[in-house]
Structure 1
Amino acid sequence: MNTIKLIATCALWISASTSFAHENAHHTASNSPVVKEQKDWGIAGDAKAVRRTITVRMTDDMRFAPNHIEVREGDTVRLRAENKGKVLHEIVIGTKAELNQHAEMMKKHPGMEHDEPYMAHVAAAKTGDIVWHFNRAGSFDFACLIPGHYQAGMTGTITVLPRNP
């Protein structure tokens, strides 16, 4: 009986530490290589393949400018996020469903920090870059998922036009 309790306690401790580890990870860029995972909205791009840089300004009125971006399927783009405000902002690319789910998680864990190639966490008066390869046509979204920012309308859209025949 004590062995079962010990095993159950260890399993609970391991799963709890794994769950909380995500909360304590950082939004800041790491020195480790970018993991290229295919997403519905594309895949992490190579900086050498960038042919276009789009500057997106983030402000404390909870808006992006521009709030609509148009690219062509197959483009590798550098999204340069400029935080023109006095508070922390971020830009996260995804589908509406993914962003909604992530925003809910951020509300539950406001200190949660993480680093993915489709997001940039940008301090006041700083810039951050996302290098992204848009390899799927469609309509996608971007947002600041810091609690309260998304809910205040800090969102935008990306239209990926089909390749030219």
Structure 2
Amino acid sequence: MNIIRNTLLAAMIALPLAGVAHSDKPHPAKSGPVVKEQKPWGIAGDAKAADRTIEVAMSDDMRFTPDRIEVRQGETIRFVVRNTGKVMHEFVIGTKQENDQHAAMMVKFPNMEHDEPYMAHVAPGKNGEIVWTFNRAGDFAFACLIAGHYQAGMVGKIVVAAVNKGKKSS
């Protein structure tokens, strides 16, 4: 398994495509107000309403730290994502299925630009930020969808615990 992972990592680093759109050029800063569109995993949040901040490190060993995050339904989280590596990384929140599909598109179209409130593209040595309200319970995912990174295992899990709105006694 380590041989396969190391081979994937070496291929990803050597791939010229991995460096074209994401590894050396951050996306332009978001302009204007954030569009708040309901997604299966929540909705863009307001920084002033953040309940807490969670720091996530992204590294060139294609891992997130932490790689599992637990939140409560209704909680607004300010994610500070720190790229500790030497190549571009991103932090994208979604469902596993959505991330699988997006990762496949990124392999086919590595220059594809995208900028959604649930994505942070972070240059080496820099920080990014996402503010997200988890208004739906369930198991969700986060990942780096840059070509080769996702395939090398750069993924994590977000568990959103349902809020119990009062139990009926039996």
Class of the TM-score when normalised by the shorter of the 2 chains: 0.7 to 0.9
Provide, for residues 104-127 of structure 1, a one-character-per-residue CA deviation record: whole Å limited to 9, x for no partner.
110111111211000100000000
The Cα shift of 1:95 comes to 0.5
RMSD: 1.3
2:143 matched to which residue of 1?
Answer: 143
Q: Tell whether 2:159 aligns with 1:155.
A: no
- Which amino acid in the other structure matches residue 31 of structure 2? N
Write the mapping of 1:93-104 to structure 2, written as runs, cut at 5 A.
93-104=93-104
Counterpart mapping for 1:124-135 below 5 A: 124-135=124-135
Give per-residue Cα distances to partners, 1:64-93, cap 9 Å, x unaligned: 000000000000001111000000000000
The residue type equivalent to 1:162 in the other structure is A
- Contact map agreement 1:86 1:125 (CA 8 A) in 2: yes
2:107 maps to 107
Match of 2:35 in 1: 35
Specify the SS of the correspondent of 2:98. Answer: helix
What SS class does the counterpart of residue 32 from structure 2 fall into?
Answer: coil
Q: Is the 8 A contact 1:93 1:142 kept in 2?
A: yes
State the partner residue of 1:5. Answer: none
Shift, 1:163, TM fit: 1.2
Instruction: Name the SS for the 1:105 alignment partner.
Output: helix
* TM-score, normalised via structure 2 length: 0.80
Where does residue 74 of structure 1 map in the other structure? 74
Query: Using the alignment, how far apart are the partners of 1:123 and 1:116 within structure 2?
Result: 17
Structure 1 unaligned residues grouped into runs of 5+: 1-22
Task: Confirm or deny: 8 A CA contact 1:28 1:121 kept in the other structure.
Answer: no
- One-letter code aligned to 2:40: D
Letter in 1 for 2:49: A
User: Which one-letter code corresponds to 1:151 in the other structure?
Assistant: Q
Q: Deviations over 1:108-163 (max 9, x none)?
A: 11111211000100000000001000000000000000000000000000000011
Distance of 1:130 and 1:45 partners within structure 2: 8
Q: Give distance in 2, aligned partners of 1:27 and 1:158.
A: 25
For residue 13 of structure 1, what is the aligned residue in structure 2? none
| Aligned residue type for 1:110 | P
Distance 1:27 1:126 in 2: 13
1:148 partner SS: coil
Count of matched residue pairs? 141
CA distance in 1, matches of 2:127, 2:70: 21
* Identity between Structure 1 and Structure 2 (%): 67
CA displacement at 1:164 relative to structure 2? 4.0
Q: What is the alpha-carbon distance in structure 1 between the residues aligned to residue 124 and residue 164 of structure 2?
A: 39
Structure 2 unaligned regions, length at least 5: 1-20, 166-170
Return the alpha-carbon distance in structure 2 between the equivalents of residues 121 and 64 of structure 1.
14
Specify the alignment match of 1:57 in structure 2: 57
Letter in 2 for 1:105: M
Q: Which residue of 2 aligns with 1:118?
A: 118
Instruction: State the Cα deviation string for residues 7-48 of structure 1 (Å, max 9, x = none).
Output: xxxxxxxxxxxxxxxx9xx83332121111000000000111
